[in-house]
Structure 1
Amino acid sequence: MPLASMWQQTSDGWLQNRQQAAREEDVRQQIKKTNLESRQTRELQVTILSWLAEDQDSIALSLVVKTFPNFRIKDHGELVNLLGMDISSWAEIYDPVKDRWVAHSIDMSHLVERDAVLLLRRLPNGLSGDRLRPHHCPGMVEEMNKLHPVRSKRKRTNSPEPKTSVPSNVNHTPRPHKRLHSQSVAIQDPQTPSSSKMSDTPLTPRPFPDIEPLYLPPAEVPQLADTSRPTTPTSDLAPLLKYRLFCGKRLRRAGERLWPCSFYARDVIEGFQLIEALTAQRRPRISQKTAFEQVYGLEFKKSTFQSHYRTYTAYPAAVKNFIDSPEKELSWNAFRNRTVEVIEVADSEGEAVTPENDSQSGDGKHSRASSVSSSSSHNSNTHFDFDDDDIPLDPTKVCPYCDEKWPEVPSAELLRQREILEKMSFPDPGPHSANPLHRQIVPAVRAASFCSLHRFETTVIDIAVREKWPQTVDWVKFENRIWRSQAAIQTIIQDPSSSLFHQILQVTVSNLGSLDRALGSGGRYDFSSKYGNGTGYYGEKGCVIISRTCHLMTNGVQAIHNIPIHDFIARILVPEVTLLLIAEDHDKSQEQALHTLEASSRYGNEMFNFIEDEAEDRRYAASMHAMWKQRRRQSAYVEIDDTTVQ
């Protein structure tokens, strides 16, 4: 058909309508891209701690890894400029699994995980030059001790390096590529004063309280290795703690002594210190399992050991106070329960605050909840010695993938996702989990959104009920409210200097050096990590509607004050409009509305998630709303009526 006849059949406004539809489609795609970038910013980010020289503080830099899970230095210009690297330069990245620093060039790839922390130190003189010494770099040793490998049979302990002085004039030969096999280490009775923390504690057997010993040590303590072999600085000080006196009610299982419920607290603490000293040595390298078997002479159970070792590392002040105290005959389980019950918080005057007097303080400075156990679970276990392996988790109260708390009344959406994941996963009970119905899915990231949703339902939803955040929104009326705020929006467009978020953007520009960087991945991370999409409890749907409405108000505008229109809307207008709406919802000041915007971002992203499929969107919204109403009925805030934001 000739084109002329086609044009003759069109109406007068046909071309304008087509152009308007094309512009709206461009806006929709741009908003969709913004939401995806915001999700990526929230999920695929890492923190870099860099040391450039000794006696200088580390420099923190937050980056978004677009090539996740592969991280390369050259992909991040800010990091390249910070380290001053080029194609021939080298830097070292700390590997917590192998407990060593690994050299990386600018284009080498390093596997990272979500929210990972990478430790970097510069090599200004290349691979053959001197390294930055950890103890001469402020905070480096502490950061190394904080990192724990996720998938490793040997977890790094929080112990410092062995206290062995090495003369500065000794040349360190490079480590051979061939792996050295661990050799057996002799463990003898102490002959010289110990350098460990327990050196002031007498190692002579203590009198057994009230009952006769059930097990007597042999005349000679057997050695674990030939004493003619060279020993490490700490191995010759390690006694066989297996033959210390028994305590508690449960002593043996299948003829083998139980650990740690049959040991005194001092023996368990001494064992932890000896294990730390053994695993900290370099040659030969000793795994945590081998060190445990050498110190205790018992079978190593990783889950049980890690559970009790976490208590030891989490309360160093309580451990030190106990060692310095004259108290001798206290079982490990009794010490553990007492430590968990009394949480010491150092206030400005240096006093110890217990949960009782802490709750009575009106200023709220010392309010803290125990992250180890609740008072109810503590009271049920106070008078009983137990072994962790004998108390499995209740499968109905924990997630089958991450073993975290499961909501009492899960939403239909959560149950639907669980049913889907069960078809892709397989049972995986074992020593790594106390949940007998634990499941494994490969890759593990498939369960990330599922676990995020059940964490939301067990934590954030209760806050939403208390703060009276909306559970449903009439989006048509919501858009009309935005149009009624057009005068305030035009004022910000004409003079953005009065805008709080324009001021935040200017601070980011001054910190990063240019507007392009402030609008790039680094600046986008700074914004998203604190404000999310900038729409608070209105979530991604609110972001889509506010962005679309602001684009219609600024139709044809390409930039405002040298800021591209899309970035100006996403970084300034969207959060500013949200502040106006939140302040109107709850009759709050701008400062109070800003606090609500920050606190409710996660709630909004889960409650009002943007899904393009309308049927799927309705089903998801119905599931979230039903769960919200159920939680409110169970809440103490039953007097709150269901409200719909107008």
Structure 2
Amino acid sequence: MPSDPNLLKSLAFKFTTKKHKSKLKKHTKARKSKGNTPNTNPDTLTSGSDRTEEPLEGISSNHIRTASPDKVLEPPIDPTLDLLLPTVHEHTIALAPECPSHGETENSSKMCSFCDEILPIHPSARFIKLNQYLTGLREARPRFSTHNPNALHLPFPRVADHCRLHRAEQDLIPIGLQRGWPMTIDFAGLASRVASHQSYLRQIVLQEIPSVHFDLALENWNSLGPRKVQSMAHEMSTFHVEQPGYYGVQGFRVIMQTLHWIFKSPGIPLHNAMSNEYVMRKVLVAEVAKCLIAEDLGLSITDPKLQEHLEDSRVFGSVLFP
């Protein structure tokens, strides 16, 4: 049944005729051939424009490349650092003021690229390596700063340890230099130095030479019992005793390996009550550290200053020689 034109007009319907369809196709082809594209200049967008950017899809962390792929990110710093060093207690990174203070003439090359704070004059090798790695990442984007042309941005979790490390070094390194603590240690020759003190260490074990570390270890063993004194909870509360001063974690590894070599007969107890491992960790590590520090600083093994150097330099060692 044919459509009534008057009825279609009254209903506002309009059907395209064949003639009109052919003209519409020609018009569409002409627009495509001209290659006209919408104007995407941001300057021409009005304030009412609803312009959104589509998120990136299909990108995984496995496809991220860095400028230095052969470098490996350093492990995080000892989580107890904030507790051991009161001056290093920040858990967030606050940007420095946009404008330097009156009379400030700091060199931008001495400023951290991520937090704009002043870097140590003598940074550790660990910090230098970590800084080179982070600043070489392709993800590190330039960040606007009026007084730091080297300013970069990375997500906070990526730079947290980096900035905590240079803040700690800013406080610790001047103290270490003032007190004569070494900035570099020959760990390759450390085992032979430790082994040279085995006669002294045997005298400690036999209680022929007094030792505050031996007395404290034995007191804890007798009062708490073998199981509790070697439990994880007690280990955490007395972990500082096993830190060999400024020799740090690297020094601890070498010292323990050498002690196991010196006292390599596990069937022969070092003490009739305490276990060999407990004696090594809670007594002999500290005694070895005192011997090494005495050699470094030219002090007598009986000098009371040795114990002060041992205790005061533990954080220094954990930062510089992790």
Residues 1:43 and 2:43 aligned together:
no
User: 1:593 — aligned with what?
Assistant: 306
Kindly provide the amino acid, as one letter, of the partner of residue 282 in structure 2.
R
User: 1:555 — aligned with what?
Assistant: 264
More strand by share: 1
Give per-residue Cα distances to partners, 1:207-237, cap 9 Å, x unaligned.
Answer: xxxxxxxxxxxxxxxxxxxxxxxxxxxxxxx
Check conservation: 2:109, 2:150, Cα contact below 8 A. Answer: no
Check conservation: 1:537, 1:605, Cα contact below 8 A. Answer: yes
* Cα distance in 2, alignment partners of residues 581 and 148 from structure 1: 33
User: 1:541 — aligned with what?
Assistant: 250
* Cα distance in 2, alignment partners of residues 605 and 524 from structure 1: 17
Kindly provide the amino acid, as one letter, of the partner of residue 235 in structure 2.
R
Residues 1:577 and 2:288 aligned together:
yes
* Cα distance in 1, alignment partners of residues 92 and 163 from structure 2: 17
Quote the offset at 1:457 in angstroms.
4.1
Q: Which has the larger radius of gyration?
A: 2
* Cα distance in 2, alignment partners of residues 411 and 476 from structure 1: 18
* Cα distance in 2, alignment partners of residues 41 and 449 from structure 1: 6
Cα 1:408–1:561 change in 2 (3 A) is: same
Structure 2 gap segments, 5+ residues each: 1-74, 84-88
* Cα distance in 2, alignment partners of residues 575 and 505 from structure 1: 12
Kindly provide the amino acid, as one letter, of the partner of residue 407 in structure 1.
P
Quote the offset at 1:579 in angstroms.
1.3
User: 2:162 — aligned with what?
Assistant: 450
Cα 1:44–1:440 change in 2 (3 A) is: farther
Kindly provide the amino acid, as one letter, of the partner of residue 523 in structure 1.
H
Quote the offset at 1:434 in angstroms.
9.5
User: 2:200 — aligned with what?
Assistant: 488
Kindly provide the amino acid, as one letter, of the partner of residue 470 in structure 1.
P
Residues 1:521 and 2:232 aligned together:
yes
Quote the offset at 1:475 in angstroms.
4.7
Quote the offset at 1:522 in angstroms.
3.2
Kindly provide the amino acid, as one letter, of the partner of residue 582 in structure 1.
I
Residues 1:501 and 2:202 aligned together:
no
Q: Aligned to 1:563, what secondary structure does the other structure show?
A: coil
Kindly provide the amino acid, as one letter, of the partner of residue 571 in structure 1.
K
Cα 1:515–1:427 change in 2 (3 A) is: farther
Cα 1:465–1:569 change in 2 (3 A) is: same
* Cα distance in 1, alignment partners of residues 227 and 299 from structure 2: 37
Quote the offset at 1:575 in angstroms.
0.7
Quote the offset at 1:399 in angstroms.
2.3
Residues 1:417 and 2:112 aligned together:
no
1:260-339 alignment, distance < 5 Å: none
More helix by share: 2
Taking structure 1 as the reference length, what is the TM-score of the superposition?
0.30
Check conservation: 2:247, 2:317, Cα contact below 8 A. Answer: yes
* Cα distance in 2, alignment partners of residues 553 and 535 from structure 1: 18
Structure 1 gap segments, 5+ residues each: 1-38, 46-113, 116-146, 152-301, 308-376, 382-390, 610-646
Kindly provide the amino acid, as one letter, of the partner of residue 316 in structure 2.
Y
Quote the offset at 1:525 in angstroms.
3.0
Residue 466 of structure 1, aligned match among 175, 178, 195: 178
Give per-residue Cα distances to partners, 1:145-175, cap 9 Å, x unaligned.
Answer: xx99969xxxxxxxxxxxxxxxxxxxxxxxx
Quote the offset at 1:508 in angstroms.
4.9
1:349-428 alignment, distance < 5 Å: 380=102, 396-408=109-121, 410=123, 414-422=127-135, 423=137, 424-427=139-142
Check conservation: 2:249, 2:317, Cα contact below 8 A. Answer: yes
* Cα distance in 2, alignment partners of residues 41 and 574 from structure 1: 22
Kindly provide the amino acid, as one letter, of the partner of residue 505 in structure 1.
A
Quote the offset at 1:595 in angstroms.
0.7
Quote the offset at 1:494 in angstroms.
2.7
Check conservation: 2:77, 2:319, Cα contact below 8 A. Answer: no
Q: Aligned to 1:43, what secondary structure does the other structure show?
A: coil
Cα 1:555–1:414 change in 2 (3 A) is: closer
Kindly provide the amino acid, as one letter, of the partner of residue 568 in structure 1.
V
Kindly provide the amino acid, as one letter, of the partner of residue 519 in structure 1.
Q
Q: Aligned to 1:501, what secondary structure does the other structure show?
A: helix
* Cα distance in 1, alignment partners of residues 306 and 222 from structure 2: 26
* Cα distance in 1, alignment partners of residues 90 and 289 from structure 2: 40
Taking structure 2 as the reference length, what is the TM-score of the superposition?
0.55
Q: Aligned to 1:495, what secondary structure does the other structure show?
A: coil
* Cα distance in 1, alignment partners of residues 276 and 220 from structure 2: 18
Cα 1:495–1:443 change in 2 (3 A) is: same
User: 1:564 — aligned with what?
Assistant: 275
User: 1:33 — aligned with what?
Assistant: none
Amino-acid identity (%): 23
* Cα distance in 1, alignment partners of residues 114 and 210 from structure 2: 48
Check conservation: 2:95, 2:116, Cα contact below 8 A. Answer: no
Quote the offset at 1:551 in angstroms.
1.0
Of stretches 576-585 and 493-502 in structure 1, the one that deviates more from structure 2 is 493-502
Residues 1:603 and 2:316 aligned together:
yes
Give per-residue Cα distances to partners, 1:247-288, cap 9 Å, x unaligned.
Answer: xxxxxxxxxxxxxxxxxxxxxxxxxxxxxxxxxxxxxxxxxx
How many matched pairs? 234
